[in-house]
Amino acid sequence: MFKALLIERDDNGQRVGLSELREEQLPEGDVTVRVASSTLNYKDALAITGKAPVVRRFPMVPGIDFAGVVEHSDNPSFRSGDKVVLNGWGVGEVHWGGLSEVVRVKGEWLIRLEPSFSFSQAMSIGTAGYTAMLCVMALERHGLTPASGQVLVTGASGGVGSVAIAVLAKLGYEVAAVTGRTEEAQYLTKLGAKRILPRSDFSEPAKPLAREQWAGAVDVVGGYVLANVCASLKYRGVVTACGLAGDMTFPATVAPFILRGVTLAGIDSVMCPTDERREAWRRLGEDLDPTLLDSMVKRIAIEDAVKVSEQLIAGAVRGRVVVPVNDL
């Protein structure tokens, strides 16, 4: 038997609670992992609260990522005792996820834990931090360097934004942070932000073009915020879009793209190829100051995930939410 957070749905609606399950109930897969730590992400919160149709099969164990130890493997790439991490691949949406003491998944979805990280540190980074690193790598591929100019990070006090600021600052970029929670200015400055801007500056309908300010940007908000960011990018600037915390629309014009050569680069962390995942985690081991992780993290018990999901949806949670599961 093992414990897991289970989402069930019937004609009376959706129910979520901690359940005792049997290992024979686990879904198909060739690797069984005992979970040391998981997280609560924005997507998990949407699934748990039912505020968006994230879950496509019921019953479902949420949790889009986890870190743990392989207990059994029929996959030649892994063996018992290996320390592994999983991000995405539809886990927590169509396949039981990481808010569980035990998981069973396809080995091709796993990568080995970087030796420099503990399980807790890996989940302090989690899918949000891994996504932030994919954004930074994309900015670099498009030619951005610290000499290019300021880089803007929206949704700055959230998980992706927090790690993006910390990584960019360590790499030598001058970072400006956009947040709807200006009371978090001290926290954002500690991560490395040089300027703190209120989200209200970006929340009105965008002009086709605005004053050129940013060489690059990481956006997790979408909507008017993303449109305003694009309108104010410098010539040949690039913005990586990885979220829709504000809105999934994009009410913009083509002006920044055809008059300034701006690039809008989409970042998908769910189905990202394995080699790129490994590189992102390797880079995190080099380019993220691990001493900053504790300031980014709120740790909760698995049974508190429902309550904290509501807070996360409301934008009332700073940084990352880590869920310790087993003491490994």
pLDDT at 198: 95
Fold agreement between 2-113+292-324 and 127-266: no
Evaluate whether 34 touches 72 at the Cβ level (below 8 Å): no
pLDDT at 52: 87
pLDDT at 169: 98
Blockwise average pLDDT, block size 10, the chain, 328 residues? 94 92 95 97 93 92 97 97 97 97 98 94 94 98 98 94 96 97 92 96 95 98 97 98 91 97 97 96 95 91 95 87 94
Stated pTM of the model: 0.92
Instruction: Check if CATH label 1.10.357.10 holds for domain 2-113+292-324.
Output: no
pLDDT at 10: 87
pLDDT at 3: 96
Within 8 A by CB and 6+ apart from 38, the residues are: 63, 65, 66, 67, 97, 98, 99, 100, 123, 302, 322, 323, 325
pLDDT at 316: 85
Q: Which two tokens stand for residue 237?
A: 């600037």
Tokens 């992102």 sit on residue: 280
Evaluate whether 70 touches 16 at the Cβ level (below 8 Å): no
For the chain, the structural domain boundaries read 2-113+292-324, 127-266
Domain 127-266: give its CATH architecture.
3-Layer(aba) Sandwich (3.40)
Identity of the amino acid at 241: A
